[in-house]
Amino acid sequence: MYKNRLSLILLIIFQTAFSQNSVTNAFKYKATYELTSQIDSTNPGSIERETMVLYIGDRISRFSSRDRLEGDEVLKKQQKDPNAFTGNNQGSSKRSLGYYIYKGIPEGKLSFTQKIVLDNYQYVEDLKQFEWEILPETKEITGYKVQKATTRFAGRDYIAWFTPEIPISDGPYKFNGLPGLILEIQDTRGHYSFILENFEILKERALLEFDPRDYIQTSRKNFLRVLEKFNRDPETALEQVGSPLLLGPDKKKKWRESIRRN
């Protein structure tokens, strides 16, 4: 096991050094995390768990729910070939987080995307938005030696554990900027935690598919306003656009106008 881990680390170091002179829109690595979240901050029993995946390339990465990713892949196949549909490829019926986070798109930035009813929204933030304090404390996670770091984000204090053995300055959700991959991070109130389950080098590189023309460009503030409107009354929002099988420009226009009025 030690030899396999050493070989993995050496291969990552070699590929990272090579990629400094060669940038592609392909993912080379995959990190799988378990997200544990307390949905209701007043109810310790309101715990939900979800598997999240971080695909990493030279200077780009994509983070999302595994169930959402698999469901979207099924939809893409059905759109290309409606006859490919079977009763077993509908994806998970479980409610999953619907967002995608792209780091490095555009360059030096972070893109957050999510579909609400009919529309795909995108807002852009600075990639370097974290001020880290790296501490001397260390421990071991899944065989990797990790070091402690702390930061404050979105009104919460977070404790992270990163490993220089994987020299990739990335991590789950929007977190990045440490000298090594973040294997574990949680807020001090215990409401959110991401813990690495597996890290692997992809045998077949997956290409990144991202076209900004597919999204409505907006601000984070406006996106949250639209999302709040939908969450407050999803049935009305869906009624305004009708059945997903009968979509048309008039129904899209009606939904967008209702957003602007509120």
Encode pLDDT of 107-138 as tens digits.
999 999 999 888 899 999 999 889 999 999 99
Bridge partners of 112, per DSSP, are 101, 123
Say whether pLDDT at 105 is over 80: yes
Report pLDDT for 91.
44
Mean per-residue pLDDT over the chain, rounded: 82
φ and ψ at residue 4, rounded to 5 degrees: -65, -40
Which string of DSSP letters, residue by residue, matches the chain?
-HHHHHHHHHHHHHHHHHHTT---SEEEEEEEEEEEEESSTT-TT-EEEEEEEEEEESS-EEEEEHHHHHHHHHHHHHHH-GGG--TT-S---S----EEEEETSSTTEEEEEEEETTEEEEEEEES-----EEEEEEEEETTEEEEEEEEEETTEEEEEEEETTS-----STT---SSSEEEEEEETTSSEEEEEEEEEEEEEEEEP---GGGSEE--HHHHHHHHHHHHH-HHHHHHHH--GGG--HHHHHHHHHHHHH-
φ and ψ at residue 230, rounded to 5 degrees: -65, -45
Report pLDDT for 19.
42
Report pLDDT for 239.
65
Report pLDDT for 247.
44
* pLDDT higher at 78 or 115: 115
Report pLDDT for 237.
67
Tell me how crowded residue 66 is: count the other CB atoms within 10 A of its CB: 16
**Cα 98–Cα 38–Cα 219 angle in degrees, nearest 5:** 40
Across 93-110, average pLDDT: 84
User: For the chain, which residues make up each domain, given as ranges?
Assistant: 2-217, 219-262
pLDDT > 70: percent of the chain: 74
CATH fold of 2-217 = outer membrane lipoprotein receptor (LolB), chain A (2.50.20)
Split at pLDDT 50, 70, 90, the class of 27 is very high
